[in-house]
Chains A and B, each alone.
Chain A
């Protein structure tokens, strides 16, 4: 790399994080890496080595992950040791087919077989086979564990990242990531915010033209990647990194105190939990409970979780929270969260289709089982149940009737249970406009979908991301209406969407009258800091939000 290479700047949308200086690591698909095939004996040995390496990966992952992830991975591990799978591959290799081709052909055949015939549970396992196909292929092509060869502090550049690819990467070693695709409200963005990973999405990058290994500066707050920075830019980046470290220290100071505005108003700050692993690294002392538990991961394996398995997780949440309230959202699949075997394939517009509560009504057994598990867990602590994607009051009435029926059955069977408060997520404009008509025990505004549906901008389309403005008067008017409905009916209103995880928007939300925010765990500190700096609009001498930087 020439030191005099020209500086190039790429703009995208900053999701979260700060400034990082490090070498570029350009992620290319395993197929592109290619390999030169050897003689059949060498190819057979290469396959055996790749299978063994993949087994070791999976064993290590099973060790590190929770029991649920372990069950999913156990099946993959078992397939690696299945002669029915490996023998035909070795036969093809003996006939002269290169190892990687023989492997991919056999696995692709199996995947098609799993998907054929319309068995939804089997079709869901096809994802496991496809994951395994990629893992062994990575070893065959020498790519190894994803990013295992990336230098410490590297800045990852990729066309796009899937949530599973994101979770497979050890982010503690890396400086951050830039993707050409994606949007700030995608699931990868949510995962990044929860884990404090610096991420820029929607950057127009010529991936093939980027100098792999070349020095770059990622400014995630500004949404910018600078390739081949000059000496002055490097010095500025280093300074910014030092300043961020100082900011982190002031965050620690507010983190363990209850949040209060500069004019002394108490604000409750809760955590959004999307995976049980988050509980291990998060102290309940820094928040006022869990404002949103996403339960999709329970269903991610394609096999539907048993009641006991669900209760174990809900109980774990209550134990962790130690008496603080825990809000659990019922399964919210569909839209951009397909769930093999549960969601409906081939909808022309999945965001406007059978998703959230609508899907739960279409899968009553699944829904009833979750309600039963929640009612049983509610006997053990302050658990609340939240329904996603509610559009009309009749839906809440129906959900409440189902919950009542399940509770009655449990009582008849002599099983301990309690009636949890039943609230709704307000994310459909129809529900926001008429919030007071819902007999909800609480309201929680889901800003991501509320913005998407109000602005008619798909969350996964970067081309319309600019129009999906969280500060648009229309969105804020809907937020104010829900707050007003909550105070008229005397029930709690919180906001659990990404807006609450964005410190720059905290002032705007408090201006709307909100007193309860639920945010990504990594953002609790920054959000509390923003609250501490906020002075109400009615306060004399201040006309703004106090947080707005006015830029």
Chain B
């Protein structure tokens, strides 16, 4: 695991959750699986909340209670941060379809 620089450069973006049940079960599993394919630290945040959550933990993502129709904020830091954020945004845009 690569050590992150003390002053992390976060790459940020957001996308709206289209799944009618929000970010639950199946979407949560897909999102964490995708996040885990990147070396970068990937975090997400529900709209209107201040705390960031590790996007690689299905348990944490499930408990985020990110709702349908709301934007999900995504940030990543590390060597492949740009690609990680782009991939997660794309996943949300295509409503978790493979």
Contact = CB atoms under 8 A, between A and B. Distances in A.
Contacts of A75: 25-26, 28-29, 58, 62
A304 B20 CA distance: 9
Interface string A94-122: 00000000000000001001100001011
Contact of B58 (A82, A119, A121, A122): A82
Contact of B63 (A74, A114, A306): A114
A3 interface: no
B63 A113 contact: yes
A344 interface: no
B20 A79 contact: no
Interface string A282-306: 0000000000000000000111101
Contacts of B32: 78, 82
Nearest to A87: B57
Nearest to A114: B63
Contacts of A121: 21-22, 24
Nearest to A72: B25
A551 interface: no
B68 to A, nearest CB: 11
B21 A78 contact: no
A539 interface: no
Interface in B8-39: 20-22, 24-26, 28-29, 32-33
A300 to B, nearest CB: 12
B62 to A, nearest CB: 6
Contacts of B63: 113-114, 122
A302 B22 CA distance: 13
A114 B60 CA distance: 11
A85 interface: yes
A71 interface: yes
Interface string A103-143: 00000001001100001011001000000000000000000
Given A78-B33, A114-B63, A71 B25 contact: yes
Contacts of B93: none
B59 A303 contact: no
B65 interface: yes
B29 A85 contact: no
A301 B54 CA distance: 25
A84 interface: yes
A32 interface: no
A125 B60 contact: no
Interface in B44-61: 54, 56-60
A83 interface: yes
Contacts of B56: 83
Given A113-B63, A114-B63, A78 B22 contact: no
Contacts of A79: 58-59
A84 B25 CA distance: 16
Interface in B67-83: none
A125 B24 contact: yes
B29 A122 contact: no
Interface residues of B, number: 19
A83 B55 CA distance: 12
Contact of A71 (B20, B26, B54, B58): B26
Contacts of B21: 121, 303-304
Contact of A82 (B25, B57, B65): B57
Given A75-B25, A303-B26, A125 B57 contact: no
Given A78-B29, A79-B58, A79-B59, A306 B24 contact: no
Given A301-B25, A303-B26, A122 B20 contact: no
Contact of A303 (B25, B58, B60): B25
Contacts of A83: 56-57
A71 B26 CA distance: 6
Contacts of A82: 32, 57-60
Contacts of B60: 82, 84
Nearest to A121: B24
A72 B29 CA distance: 10
- Residue picked from B24, B56, B59, most chain A C-beta under 10 Å: B59
B57 A84 contact: yes
B31 to A, nearest CB: 10
B59 A110 contact: yes
Nearest to B57: A84
A78 B25 CA distance: 10
Contacts of B29: 74-75, 78
B36 to A, nearest CB: 8
Interface string A58-99: 000000000000011011001100111100000000000000
A85 to B, nearest CB: 5
A166 to B, nearest CB: 24
Contacts of B54: 84
A119 B59 contact: no
Contacts of B28: 75, 78
A550 B40 CA distance: 76
B58 A125 contact: no
Contacts of B59: 79, 82, 84-85, 110
A419 B25 CA distance: 34
A84 B60 CA distance: 7
A119 B25 contact: no
B81 to A, nearest CB: 20
Contacts of A110: 59
16 contacts: A75-B26, A78-B33, A79-B58, A79-B59, A84-B59, A84-B60, A85-B57, A122-B24, A125-B24, A125-B62, A301-B25, A302-B25, A303-B25, A303-B26, A304-B21, A306-B20
Interface of A: 71-72, 74-75, 78-79, 82-85, 110, 113-114, 119, 121-122, 125, 301-304, 306
Given A83-B56, A84-B57, A84-B60, 4 more contacts: A75-B29, A78-B32, A125-B62, A303-B21
Nearest 5 pairs of A and B residues by beta carbon? A84-B57, A78-B58, A78-B29, A84-B59, A71-B26
